[in-house]
Structure 1
Amino acid sequence: MAIKVGDTAPDFTLTSQTGESVSLGDFRGNTAVVLYFYPKDDTPGCTSEACAFRDSYQVFKDAGAEVIGVSSDSAYDHEQFAKKHNLPFILLSDSGSQVRKLYGVPATLWILPGRVTYVIDKEGVVRHIFDSMLDFKAHVDEALRTLKAIPA
């Protein structure tokens, strides 16, 4: 069952690129979260998207949000990807795609993991969902537009 706008975002715990366990619930009550699912580290589209989030990271922080990227790559692969592209945000390893399935992120052509961004407010409510495999920069633009519309 796919998560919808207005739903409470399901909590989960995954390993980050630094080897730490990160839970979505750790942010609840403190900060909004831009949770973006992407297919694979260091591929052209995923690199473009990650770098777009990197380039706007301070704007997200100023808007009261943390950016978290999720793919099925290993924590080690995430670490290498983050170092190579100077990514300042959290990357989580969903090696069995359990969280991807929990959120109902669709596959493209039934084989490629989808690219979906969720904007989750401080209370843990999903405020916006954006799904586009090819419009990488729009994930950033849509998330920022939504964050600016959420009352402080």
Structure 2
Amino acid sequence: MSIKVGDKAPDFTLPKQDGTPANLKELLQKSAVVLYFYPKDDTPGCTKEACSFRDSYEAFKDAGAEVVGISSQSAASHEAFAAKYRLPFTLVSDEGGKVRSQYGVPSTLGLLPGRVTYVIDRDGTVRHVFNSQLNATRHVTEALNIVKQLTGKTAN
């Protein structure tokens, strides 16, 4: 069952790229969260998506949201990926795909882990879901527009 707009986002605690825990409930105490599931570190589409989030990161922060990327690679893989592309946001390791399953992120052709972005307000309610395996950079545009609508803040 997929998480839809209006649903409560399932809470999770997963290791960040530096090995420390990231907890969704704690993140939401500070800001809205843009949670994006992506297939794999350092692949062409995922790198393009991550760099697009990186390039818009200040706009997300100005609009009142934190960006969190999530995939099944290890924290060490995330750390190398983040360092290579100077990613300023958190990447969390969902080894085994438990959180991916809780959110109901579909696979593409039954093989590739899906690419889905959720915008979650500070109350933990999902306000937007965007699912597109091939249009990686559109995830950033969609999410930023929704965050601006939610928070009433305009980003620079």
1:134, distance to aligned residue in structure 2 (A): 0.9
What amino acid maps onto 2:136 in structure 1? F
Aligned partner of 1:111: which letter? L
Taking structure 1 as the reference length, the TM-score comes to 0.98
Q: 1:119 corresponds to which residue?
A: 119
Work out whether residues 63 and 151 of structure 2, in 8 Å CA contact, stay in contact via their aligned partners in 1. Answer: no
Instruction: Please tell me the residue identity of whatever aligns with 1:115.
Output: R
User: Runs of 4+ in structure 1 displaced over 3 angstroms?
Assistant: none
The letter for the 2-side match of 1:53 is F
Amino acid at match of 1:41: D
Pairwise mapping of residues 134-149 of structure 1 onto structure 2 (< 5 A)? 134-149=134-149
Contact 2:9 2:124 in 1 (8 A): yes
The equivalent residue for 1:33 is 33
The alpha carbon displacement at 1:35 in A equals 0.1
Mapped to 2, the partners of 1:54 and 1:151 lie a distance apart of 20
What is residue 21 of structure 2 aligned with on the other side?
A: 21
Does residue 1:62 correspond to 2:62, yes or no? yes
Q: Secondary structure at the match of 2:3?
A: coil
Amino acid at match of 1:148: K
How far apart, CA to CA, are the structure 1 residues paired with 2:118 and 2:86? 23
Q: Deviations over 1:41-81 (max 9, x none)?
A: 00000000000000000000001100000000000000000
Paired amino acid for 2:104: G
Q: RMSD of the TM alignment (CA)?
A: 0.8
Question: CA separation in 2, counterparts of 1:29 and 1:15?
Answer: 18
Unaligned stretches of 5+ in structure 2? none
Is 1:46 the counterpart of 2:46 in the alignment? yes
TM-score for both structures, normalised by structure 2: 0.95
- CA-CA distance at 1:149 after TM superposition: 1.1
Distance 1:151 1:80, change over 3 A: closer
Q: Distance in 2 between matches of 1:12 and 1:150?
A: 23
Shift in Å at residue 151 of structure 1? Answer: 4.2
- Structure 2 residue 78 is matched with structure 1 residue 89: no
| Residue matched to 2:100 | 100
Percent of paired sites with the same residue: 62
